[in-house]
Structure 1
């Protein structure tokens, strides 16, 4: 049983502000420790449920957030960037389950640190006209690769977003959003116990439930940007067309779209030079 963990940071236990999750923020070092402990809880749960291999992908921002020397010793780690598949780097059909730790809700939701990949620059995203953010795109991509997403931790809004996408995923609310930068927090020990139990439950389910079949059928990704200049630059990519002056779309297999979206973000970053959460 091989388990893959994609670890984001905004949905980690106790974290509510940009200063908690951005390099240079006054509480970022504390945030790194909190993120590492949430991931360790998921690793413990996966191993307790029979995982023989656990691969963790540091999927937030610089992708150098997890404290390597404090990570559970049996876990492998994918660290740093660039990564061709970003938040799902090294995920392939050899894995039996995906766990999403520390995830957050999509742009426009009133969840803690809600956004879709790039702060305010991405206003909305759709897959075959279904609204989505990082949760939906990760789930759709993993499923298309033939690997089920079985567990997610984050705030209550992120958990509700995952449940709306796939009600079979075990979700763990580690905090309850009061606004975009405030929340009622679960005690850390309680939250991590819940993560560990949910990871174990998700992995146990994966061992007995049918896996999704790999799917190469085409889907359409659409992204609405704050800046028309981003859309104008992206239109130069073969296959990318404009829906309107700020919205681009492209069609292809979902894993291919996920990789191409990483290029979209690199173009957008060079055009806008805008920091997240502003």
Structure 2
């Protein structure tokens, strides 16, 4: 058999099951690590080219019959170790400047978080994993770093959800106005509040409803603590907190090994649960119950899709949540440029 990310193995000496994951201790795709989920120790790193050594230490386990396609949507603000600074998550193309070391480090961290989710999903029996880069200009993940399909943008991910079995959100942030959170916002700094069916939501909540529109559950979210609290109170899926912000505004990062182990474990648990028939309840959307409140100074006229119900507040009246999201995107494009 071939050693690949997501392989399920057993340590011959201890008998402990483990999952093959990307190398954590150094940035190289020529190596893989073996993560023992029930042992609190640093993963063993092995060269992928040294498969003879690998086979001497580990036995491959049969991956259980699982599910079909899993779509992983990735953002950056909630990724492990990424600082609470806009400069760290802003691509150079968006500022006209040079790529920074901080942004490059954030891209590497984003890649590792996503690959850990890929590993957990595969080990639980996902036959196909599709990754969607959904941060800013959607060019933060390099396709060469993945052995699965990489899509660009949320719209491509939503299309890929058709016929999928599950969605995971990795690296996400809390909604605008969340308070003690890492770079909280809702799509653009011009939006103050987004409400669906009377429930204030951020981007994860919106994506959960879009996935539900395709009949697909969001089974796991990884991001900062505020994002995890937000989605837990909304749809109640498994969450992995990467960091938190205290009352004084100080960011407290969890260690990479803690987060990586939890992402792999939660991804595995979520997909394994689906394979056993545990299916989360999908959030529902009532047409006409989608309201957007924007900051003063960015007013736009209403139209056939968008009704202005008060100063700075608009209601989108369409049918399905997918149609509503399309109208919302067009509404955001019409907002005046920042000055």
- Which bracket does the TM-score occupy, shorter chain normalised? 0.7 to 0.9
Question: Per-residue CA shift, 1:103-124, capped at 9, x if unaligned?
Answer: 11000012111111102x1100
* 1:19 Cα offset (Å): 1.6
Q: Given the alignment of the two structures, is residue 272 of structure 1 paired with residue 337 of structure 2, yes or no? A: yes
Q: Given the alignment of the two structures, is residue 173 of structure 1 paired with residue 241 of structure 2, yes or no? A: yes
Matched residue count:
261
* 1:33 Cα offset (Å): 0.6
When residues 10 and 214 of structure 1 are mapped into structure 2, their CA distance, relative to the original with a 3 A threshold, is closer
- The residue aligned with 1:93 is 162
* 1:213 Cα offset (Å): 7.4
Gaps of 5+ in 1: none
* 1:214 Cα offset (Å): 10
Q: Given the alignment of the two structures, is residue 204 of structure 1 paired with residue 272 of structure 2, yes or no? A: yes
Partner SS for 1:56: strand
Q: Given the alignment of the two structures, is residue 117 of structure 1 paired with residue 190 of structure 2, yes or no? A: no
Q: Distance in 2 between matches of 1:18 and 1:273?
A: 16
Which has the greater radius of gyration? 2
- The residue aligned with 1:7 is 74
1:49–1:200: 8 Å Cα contact kept in structure 2?
A: yes
Q: Distance in 1 between matches of 2:114 and 2:243?
A: 16
Q: Distance in 1 between matches of 2:314 and 2:297?
A: 10
Matches within 5 A, 1:32-47: 32-47=107-122
* 1:68 Cα offset (Å): 2.2
Gaps of 5+ in 2: 1-67, 93-98
Q: Distance in 2 between matches of 1:213 and 1:126?
A: 17
Partner SS for 1:20: helix
* 1:243 Cα offset (Å): 1.4
When residues 214 and 30 of structure 1 are mapped into structure 2, their CA distance, relative to the original with a 3 A threshold, is closer
Matches within 5 A, 1:61-76: 61-71=136-146, 73=147, 75-76=148-149
1:176–1:183: 8 Å Cα contact kept in structure 2?
A: yes
Which residue of the other structure, out of 225, 234, 237, is the alignment partner of 1:156?
Answer: 225
Higher relative contact order (CA 8 A, sep 6+): 1
Partner SS for 1:34: helix
Structure with the higher helix share, 1 or 2: 1
Q: Distance in 1 between matches of 2:183 and 2:249?
A: 6
When residues 170 and 19 of structure 1 are mapped into structure 2, their CA distance, relative to the original with a 3 A threshold, is same
2:158–2:210: 8 Å Cα contact kept in structure 1?
A: no
Structure 1: 4+ residue segments shifted above 6 A: 213-216
Question: Per-residue CA shift, 1:118-155, capped at 9, x if unaligned?
Answer: 02x11001012211110111111111220000000001
1:127–1:219: 8 Å Cα contact kept in structure 2?
A: no
* 1:266 Cα offset (Å): 1.8
Matches within 5 A, 1:216-235: 218-232=287-301, 235=302
1:111–1:157: 8 Å Cα contact kept in structure 2?
A: yes
Q: Distance in 2 between matches of 1:204 and 1:177?
A: 32
Moved more, 241-250 or 19-28: 19-28
Question: Per-residue CA shift, 1:150-209, capped at 9, x if unaligned?
Answer: 000001111110110012x11000112236974111111221121111111111122212
Q: Distance in 2 between matches of 1:66 and 1:273?
A: 27
